[in-house]
A and B are shown apart, each in its own frame.
Chain A
Amino acid sequence: MQNRQNDPIVQRRMKRTRYYRTISILLVLITGTYLLFSLTSLIMPIIIGILLAYISLPVTEFMQRRGIPKLLSVILLVGTFLLLSFYAAILIRNMLPDANDQIRLKVVAMHQLNDRYQAFMNLGKTDTQPNILYTLLSQEVNPVMDNINAFLVLSEGEKAQFERIFPRPTLTDRTNERLWNFHESNLRLRLYSDPGVLLYESVDADSESLLFRSEESSNLSLIMNLFSIWLVMPIMYFFFLLDDGKLRKSFISLTPNMFFEMTLTSLKNVDNAIGAYLRGTVIETLAVFITFLIVLLLIGFSFTASLFIGLAAAILNIIPIIGSFAGIALCLVYALILDDVNSVIPIINSGNIVIFAVLAGLFVQLIDNAAFKPYILGTAVDLHPVLVIISVIAGGTMFGFWGILFAVPVVVIVKVVIETLNRQLKLYYIID
């Protein structure tokens, strides 16, 4: 053996192999980095497609056990997934307010928000002074309120449209009286940070508002662009479900013999832990969504609002700590602009809906932390709060919203991989 290694031909071959390997690794790294940066928009659809496939694996395995061939079970699953996505897209499209509804919503939201803010701070009354809270917080809160109002201000075009679709009430027809009262009250609003100036005068009303602009820019090209990027997701989903272990085998074939069994065991343990975490997260999200939907309907939110807020809050709930606050904040914001409350609980009315909305958010969090999380997720993936916050900020900085949403699952995966590798390396006497 020693003689063979001293052979100059063998030595030259070994040298060539080393060069070949170094150049290959460098090329792969350079190409990988280039692709990562140039195809950033494709990363999320690919990751989500793989994650969905991973979560769906037990379903295809179950179907195979029932005698359905793999290809057919994958086609059935992908078909169901596409059909559900299509149905959800139509449902969401029908539920989203059209241009007229948006104008109405802006008028009502602006009035309710300012009305509640003024009532809370004891403003707008000539005989009494603002309360202590206003004295303490006005410097910070007033500019925020002015900015929100500037966002909700109707443009000249929107004002004309408002007058056309909601005719001014007359003595005989008082249908739009309440809405017009709100609109006129909005027109009289003054800047909180500078009470001498009328709000509508301070804002350039000729420019189209953000809400109105977004409606006009929702053209075909934007949809097609999004569609073509997200088309990658079902493709990745399909091929990852169809793969019968070839990817895993290829990866394992790269490991040196010394690490072979350790790699197999680590992959299995990581697979079990991550699979349980991801499936648990999906089930927990569903449970939180259903609880939100029921609770919000009970306190008097409309079905559409309950559905959207419940869904958004449940998805945000994937982010520990921050997600919980986001859910409560969503309920609070909607309650602040809510016009009509039709609760089955008699004590809830438009005066106290804000308090009940916050209580509803807190109640769902309580149920989630006391029942769903311990029973569905367990404590296997507990992360330190500081680590959660840092990873969420880092994720957001790198990949925006999707980075925020997937930061914690990614950290959990990394944590499980490191823990398992460390344990297995010790078990196989590779490290002490």
Chain B
Amino acid sequence: MRLIDPIWSSINTIFRTGLEKSESDFFKGVLLFQDLSSREVKKLMKLMHVRRFKDGEYVFHKGQPGTAFYIIRKGAVRVVQPGEELMDIAELQEGDLFGELSILDDTPRSASVLTKGETELRAIFKGDFDKLMVSEPTIAAKIYRRVAIIIGIRLKVTNDQLLKNVRRDAEPAK
């Protein structure tokens, strides 16, 4: 398109350079993309879909197939377990990500996610990420490594929590 419409392209470049720079800086700060260079982040940004949500809107429901992961660009989300009443598991803020396990397997979503206030998300589709793995294996490897670290951290937290619960349950017996 640049070849055809250089004027539009120039205007676009003038007005968007600053914006893109701040966007790429933002994503370099996201835990999952910390190992990526600026060039690699920009390549990844091409895969991202911009999604805007109203307050209390569901991003996905528990049990649905997981086919994309999300980064919170603006706003916040609640991770909840559905039931008669919603049980809050976590609250995630700007820069956090969720649904990243969807890039590993095809299992259904383990919890529901809904927005808290007006929220802007960036979504990366699993199919696009799989293609990236073939065309840019270095980027994919760096992201997978980060996913492994995140899962490791979560496992440690879960183990600690489990240990605390076991100890607490064992105390009255004494």
Contact = CB atoms under 8 A, between A and B. Distances in A.
Interface of A: 1, 61, 64-65, 244-245, 249, 252-253, 257-258, 260-261, 264-265, 268, 427-429
A333 B171 CA distance: 96
A244 to B, nearest CB: 7
B162 to A, nearest CB: 31
A411 to B, nearest CB: 25
Q: How large is the interface on B (under 10, 10 to 19, 20 to 34, 35 or more residues)?
A: 20 to 34
Interface stretch (B23-31, B32-40, B53-61): B53-61
B46 A244 contact: yes
B51 A428 contact: no
Nearest to A427: B65
B51 A61 contact: no
B60 A261 contact: yes
Q: Pick from A61, A252, A257, A428 the residue with the most CB of B within 10 Å.
A: A257
B135 A65 contact: yes
A428 B65 contact: yes
20 contacts: A1-B56, A61-B135, A249-B49, A252-B49, A257-B57, A260-B49, A260-B68, A260-B123, A261-B65, A264-B49, A264-B125, A265-B65, A265-B127, A268-B127, A427-B64, A427-B65, A428-B64, A428-B65, A429-B63, A429-B64
B20 to A, nearest CB: 15
Nearest to A71: B3
A428 B68 CA distance: 13
Given A268-B127, A429-B61, 8 more contacts: A64-B135, A253-B49, A253-B50, A260-B123, A265-B67, A268-B125, A427-B65, A428-B64
B7 interface: no
B11 interface: no
A257 B68 contact: no
B134 interface: yes
B49 A257 contact: no
Contacts of A249: 49
A239 to B, nearest CB: 8
Classify the secondary structure of A's interface with B. helix
Contacts of A258: 58
Contacts of B125: 261, 264, 268
Contacts of B60: 261
Contacts of B57: 257
Interface of B: 46-47, 49-51, 53, 55-61, 63-65, 67-68, 123, 125, 127-128, 134-135
List of 10 A-B pairs having minimum Cβ-Cβ separation, nearest first = A268-B127, A264-B125, A261-B67, A265-B67, A428-B64, A261-B68, A427-B65, A257-B53, A252-B49, A257-B51
B135 A264 contact: no
A245 to B, nearest CB: 7
Given A245-B46, A428-B65, A429-B61, A260 B135 contact: no
A249 B55 CA distance: 24
A145 to B, nearest CB: 57
A265 B106 CA distance: 12
Contacts of B59: 257
Given A261-B60, A427-B65, A428-B65, A1 B134 contact: no
Nearest to A260: B51
A65 B58 CA distance: 38
A65 B56 CA distance: 43
Given A261-B64, A428-B65, A65 B134 contact: yes
A1 B55 contact: yes
A264 B65 contact: no
A235 B47 CA distance: 26
A252 B123 CA distance: 12
B16 to A, nearest CB: 14
Contacts of B56: 1
Contacts of A257: 51, 53, 57-59
A262 to B, nearest CB: 8
Contacts of A253: 49-50
A264 B68 contact: yes
B136 to A, nearest CB: 10
A64 B67 CA distance: 26
A252 B68 CA distance: 13
A245 B64 CA distance: 25
A12 B51 CA distance: 25
A64 B56 CA distance: 43
Contacts of B47: 245
A260 B49 CA distance: 10
Contacts of B51: 257, 260
Contacts of B135: 61, 64-65
Q: Pick from A253, A260, A261, A429 the residue with the most CB of B within 10 Å.
A: A261
Q: Pick from B55, B61, B65 the residue with the most CB of A within 10 Å.
A: B65
A244 B42 CA distance: 14
Contacts of A265: 65, 67, 127
A268 B127 CA distance: 7
Q: Pick from A249, A253, A260 the residue with the most CB of B within 10 Å.
A: A260
Contacts of B65: 261, 265, 427-428
A264 B102 CA distance: 14
B132 to A, nearest CB: 11
A65 B46 CA distance: 18
A245 B49 CA distance: 11
A258 B63 CA distance: 14
A265 B59 CA distance: 15
A261 B59 CA distance: 9
